[in-house]
Amino acid sequence: MPDFPLRKMTLQIEEIHHDGGPAPDRPRLRGAIMAVVANPFVGRHVAELQGAMEDLKPLGLEMTDRLITALGGVAGIDAYGKGALTGADGEAEHGALWHVPGGYAMRARLGESRAIVPSAMKLGAMGATLDVPLGHINAAYVRSHFDAITVMVPDGPKGGEIVLVLAMAKGGRVHSRMGGLEVCQVKGEDGLR
């Protein structure tokens, strides 16, 4: 079994009071948690990677719990996303190991969450940024929740590391006015509407 030793974890919380217009009734909260782990696959091609997803599941749950706590609890969280930034000595597919452990951890803790968890993966040097997409947890077509949070770890990922990211938000974009499916219209039947 591969090992993903944790070097550090960092948390980012944004409290958005306005976006150039009037202040909303409550600030919007948007946050991300990042774990910098060693990449056990650097320097060699490994044909079978999927089994390693199992090893990352406990980390996914721990990160989810910490992010929910930092956002003040599960109530009101209605957007999520995930991502991974793989150091230059790895490959993009190593970041893709985060799809199941990250996505399913958030679904397990947030309860009903039928929409796909938006995701972004890329290779990057130390200090590279990653724009993690966000979408509504039950209806992918809710335009007010099409968003992203930019994350970075100043000293990561090193060449042999991966930065694993989970992101969540309470509410859609401040001053959203692009129409389409509104939150009050969500049926949550198929993850789309």
If we measure between CA atoms, which residue out of 30, 4, 36 comes closest to residue 15?
30
Other residues' Cβ atoms within 10 Å of the Cβ of residue 113: 21
- For residue 159 the two structure tokens come to 């060449």
- C-alpha span between 75 and 14 (Å, rounded): 17
Hey, which CATH number is domain 6-185, 3.30.1330.110, 3.40.718.10, 3.40.190.290, 3.30.1310.10? 3.30.1330.110
Percent of the chain at pLDDT > 90 equals 75
- C-alpha span between 85 and 34 (Å, rounded): 10
Q: Where are the domains of the chain?
A: 6-185
Q: How confident is the model at residue 1 (pLDDT cuts 50, 70, 90)?
A: very low
Q: What is the pLDDT of residues 126-183, one digit of tens each?
A: 999 999 999 999 988 888 889 999 999 999 999 999 999 999 999 988 888 777 767 6
Q: What is the pLDDT of residues 96-128, one digit of tens each?
A: 999 999 999 999 999 989 899 999 999 999 999
Q: What is the pLDDT of residues 50-88, one digit of tens each?
A: 999 999 999 999 999 999 999 999 999 999 999 999 999
